[in-house]
Amino acid sequence: MSKYILSFDAGTTSSRAIVFDKKGSIIAVAQKEFQQIFPKPGWVEHDANEIWSTQIGVAAEAIVKAGITAADIAAIGITNQRETAVVWDRATSQPVYNAIVWQDRRTSDYCDELKKDGTAQIIKEKTGLVTDAYFSGTKLKWILDNVAGAREKAQKGELCFGTVDTWLLWKLTNGKSYVTDVSNASRTMIFNIHTLQWDEELLQKMDIPEAILPEVRSSSEVYGYTQHLLTSAEIPVAGIAGDQQAALFGQMCTQEGMVKNTYGTGCFMLMNTGTQPVASKNNLLTTIAWKINGKVHYALEGSVFIAGAVVQWLRDGLKVINKSSDVEALTATEPDNGGVYMVPAFTGLGAPYWNQHARGIIVGLTRGSSDGHIARAAVESIAYQTMDVLKAMEADAGITIKEVRVDGGATINDYLMQFQANLLNTAVVRPTITETTALGAAYLAGLAVGFWESIEDVQAYWKKEKFFEPYMKEDVRGMLQKEWKRAIKAAQVWSEE
């Protein structure tokens, strides 16, 4: 019996591979950043071949670091940032255009048209999503409309479209498996989350031929086998989930009402709503969490577009810190935010505002404002945006959230985690393994091949590392929340023509 599971974690700025053992412990990690391409303001692209080469490269590196051979890998799980669109030629496996990244805003005007003609309501009912340039369907349409000859080839079935999971699976299996899972499909704006099919009406509306779309399968099953990659042995690729759904699973939020928040480039909060989709009245997304053993679980999701990325901006844009981890020390140079608030709407505002034209602002500056105040405002903006989502979630689900399980890079910042607990007046729980996105993909793959017997088997391994209890006085919390609302209002006013 092979002793390990290999996870591919295809992020927005880097490719990572992690080797896990039976206890869900990390044996080895390898990571490599890839190029971010910005052809025009608001446009963000990746080179899909570079995503593949860095991903297979770090996989080989992680196996070497772990001191094992590829033959020791029982299965591969894939998790990915979900809304990036790749279109490639079926015969040559070459992309016809750069991958269009989830942060890309080029289809905003088209989304505005869909809102004007009433299609947005149909999209919400069928897909559970708000109409926004964030999702991959409109990006696929843009490629078909703007790349010479693409539409004709797509109609003949000569092109493939996929989110990054589908692209990586295609490359791993040398074109033998052309598949996505329900969680990624549910983020395209063209997949019906009730019938679990690509939606004909929406495909017609966006002029997307069905021949270009992958087969949609469950999140935990054998999709195919590697073809002479990493080893001559065939390794099963057996788990796929979009990054946020994978993190929900990795956090073992398998019961209705359980909530996790992932602090990555963006911030993503999901609540497991069980086997029934809950329609949001507060601008959250209704999405598929996973499908395992024929059973679909749904989730409510709130997306914050800029979370950890605001710290990268302090590093690369303002150059007030040398590396991201320096931010905690800089925030400690001031006792409070000095009345400074930052709304980091660099790529528009996500849930619950969904203002795709909003831009980032800093308010409350005085002559006494320091780099420490700005750093505090930046870090605190992550917690405020999370609070807005949590309040919307409580209203939709009709329950008070008692604890939030957290993961992702920014959770190492104790100041942020404590401020988050204070602001929410809710316990924030950090597990011992914060790589829950990759862990979720590993669990899904391992369950499919019998590496783990059952979900209950896996639950035994989830352990908390630190528990942040709220201690802020109610009047202070109220004042901070009120000032944040003013800052949000200012950002929205700025976006009006």
Based on C-alpha coordinates, what's the Rg of the chain? 22
Q: For residue 196, give both structure tokens.
A: 């679990």
461 labelled ligand-binding: no
166 labelled ligand-binding: no
In degrees, rounded to 5, the angle at the alpha carbon of residue 385 between the alpha carbons of residues 381 and 388 is 140
Residue with token string 């780099």: 371
312 labelled ligand-binding: yes
Q: Which phi-psi region, left, alpha or beta, contains residue 29 (left: φ > 0; alpha: ψ -120 to 50)?
A: beta
- Are residues 128 and 103 in contact, defined by beta-carbon separation less than 8 angstroms? no
53 labelled ligand-binding: no
Distance, CA of 26 to CA of 433 (rounded, Å):
8
388 labelled ligand-binding: no
261 labelled ligand-binding: no
DSSP H or E segment with residue 420? helix 414-424
Q: For residue 56, give both structure tokens.
A: 């297979």
In the chain, the amino acid numbered 416 is L
DSSP calls for 286-333: EEEEEEETTEEEEEEEEEES-SHHHHHHHHHTS-S-SSGGGHHHHHTT
State the number of CA atoms in the 13 A half-sphere of 307 facing the CB.
30
Q: For residue 390, give both structure tokens.
A: 């949590």
- Are residues 25 and 19 in contact, defined by beta-carbon separation less than 8 angstroms? no
118 labelled ligand-binding: no
244 labelled ligand-binding: yes
293 labelled ligand-binding: no
Q: Where are the alpha helices (DSSP H) in 92-173?
A: 108-116, 119-127, 136-146, 150-155, 164-172
CA dihedral for 122, 154, 164, 350, sign (positive or negative): negative
Q: Is 232 exposed, middle or buried (0-12, 13-18, 19+ CB in 10 A)?
A: exposed
435 labelled ligand-binding: no
Reported in sequence order, the residue ranges of 139-231 that DSSP labels E, i.e. its strands, are 159-162, 179-181, 191-192, 197-198, 215-217, 220-225
134 labelled ligand-binding: yes
DSSP one-letter code for 474:
H
Distance, CA of 74 to CA of 78 (rounded, Å):
14
Q: What is the dihedral of CA 33, 34, 37, 42, to 10 degrees?
A: -40
- Helices and strands, number each (H, E), in the chain: 16, 23
- Are residues 181 and 216 in contact, defined by beta-carbon separation less than 8 angstroms? yes
308 labelled ligand-binding: yes
Burial code (b: 16+ CB inside 10 Å, e: under 16) for 432-449 equals: ebbbbbbbbbbbbbbbbb
DSSP one-letter code for 346:
B
83 labelled ligand-binding: yes
13 labelled ligand-binding: yes
Distance, CA of 188 to CA of 102 (rounded, Å):
11
Binding site for ATP: residue ranges? 12-14, 265, 308, 312, 409
Binding site for glycerol: residue ranges? 82-83, 134, 243-244
Binding site: residue ranges? 12-14, 16, 82-83, 134, 243-244, 265, 308, 312, 409, 413
Binding site for sn-glycerol 3-phosphate: residue ranges? 12, 82-83, 134, 243
Binding site for ADP: residue ranges? 12, 16, 265, 308, 409, 413
